[in-house]
Amino acid sequence: MNLQLSQRVRRVTLSANAAAKSRVTELREAGLDILDLTTGEPDFDTPAPIKQAALAALERGETKYTATPGTRALRQAIQRKLLAENRLGFELAHIVVGNGAKGIIFNAFAATLDDGDEVLVPVPYWPTFPDSVRFNGGLPVLLDCPLEQGCKLTAQQLQAAIGPRTRWLILNSPGNPSGALYSQAELLALAEVLRAHPQVWVLLDELYEHIRFDGQPPLNLLNVAPDLGDRCLLVGGVSKTYAMTGWRIGFGAGPRELTQAMTVVQSQSASGASSVGQAAAVAAFEGGLEFLKPQVAAYRERRDALVAALAPVSGLQVLVPQGGFFVFVQCAGLIGHWRPDGRQIGSDADLVEWFLEQGVAVIAGSAYGASPWFRVSIAAATDSVREAGRRLALACERLSEVRQ
């Protein structure tokens, strides 16, 4: 078959998470004991009242097409959620519902980018950010945010990076993969730079907003700089907070001109999101967050256990996450070391392969634009995270500076 692939699809790659998950499945089917710490998917079940709301919607016959920007009931629930939890007021016309937050991000770039337009992407990044930009003809400008600055963008970096073709800045807090949270002072400094560049829009990825370990409510750029609201898109959803990854419901809240353009894009691609999923999301946003407290406590316990296991390991530097589902680890001190079988660790990908052979699946930092690092998910059973920490530490200790 002579299939000619488009230049557009050649610009992007298969999700590293999807590839790793497929590899783990193959090894497990072959009978190997693999602890899978690759995916940012809660190990907790969707709360029962949310599932019951979905069943009730089915019984009512809510199985038809929905309005492209989302049902009125869900957009009203999002409107109330944003006011109560985020202290932000949005009109209904400024809220659009999509097929997951990933769909919202893609639609925003499809609606606003022309070939060669630039999007500032702090590194480390969630891989969908640069690939969504590339797929829509844009150019991701990668801004390295090293361990020394907590993997967060500084105002000085932002100022130096903005050019005549800059259209967007992406801010993700808590970050994936870093778990980093921007403080009020850091956000204020970024806002001061942005005020001098009115052509730059800001995409605020808030998916992990309630998975934070400081006990504080969500805080984002709009809370400290409401005057930037006419060029910010707040992206949220139900996947992480409510353990609803498979329901595929996300939302965007921003200027009406943008949300209307995103609705046009969605009308010609995925159409409206699942009717049953939207009914379930209404129940999620209206059901309160009390159920989440023990889950966040469990994530914190897992984080602490994993950090305790890896921090003392020679060759590793652990970035202690302030939120989210991941522990991000710099492993430069192990590059060049030797495995017991005489093979050399030449990259973070080689190290991750060694970990997999020792029974733990993680993701190489290169997938997030940061090498040499690796990402470990704590969205798994606590005992599995503890055992993974033990195995990872032992695997590192088995490496040698000299060839054995």
pLDDT digits (tens, 9 = 90+) for 225-238: 999 999 999 999 99
Tell me the C-alpha distance between 375 and 207, whole Å: 18
Comparing 9-23, 134-148, 205-219, 357-371, the range with the smallest average pLDDT is 9-23
Q: Measuring CA to CA, which residue among 188, 178, 189 is closest to residue 212?
A: 178
The pLDDT confidence band at residue 363, using thresholds 50, 70 and 90, is: very high
Yes or no: domain 48-286 corresponds to CATH 3.40.640.10 = yes
pLDDT > 70: percent of the chain: 100
- What is the mean predicted confidence (pLDDT) over 331-355? 97
pLDDT, tens digit, 9 for 90 and up, residues 83-105: 999 999 999 999 999 999 999 99
> Where in the chain are the domains?
7-45+291-397, 48-286
pLDDT > 90: percent of the chain: 91
- What is the mean predicted confidence (pLDDT) over 307-326? 98
Residue 23: per-residue pLDDT? 84
Residue 14: per-residue pLDDT? 79
Residue 12: per-residue pLDDT? 86
pLDDT, tens digit, 9 for 90 and up, residues 130-188: 999 999 999 999 999 999 999 999 999 999 999 999 999 999 999 999 999 999 999 99
- Mean of the per-residue pLDDT values for the chain? 96
As separate numbers, helices (DSSP H) first and strands (DSSP E) second, the chain gives: 14, 13
Residue 204: per-residue pLDDT? 98
Flag whether pLDDT at 16 surpasses 80. Answer: no
CATH of domain 7-45+291-397: 3.90.1150.10
Helix H, strand E, coil C: the string for 53-74 is HHHHHHHCCCCCCCCCCCCHHH
CB 256 within 8 A of CB 85: no
Tell me the C-alpha distance between 20 and 131, whole Å: 18
- What is the mean predicted confidence (pLDDT) over 241-265? 98
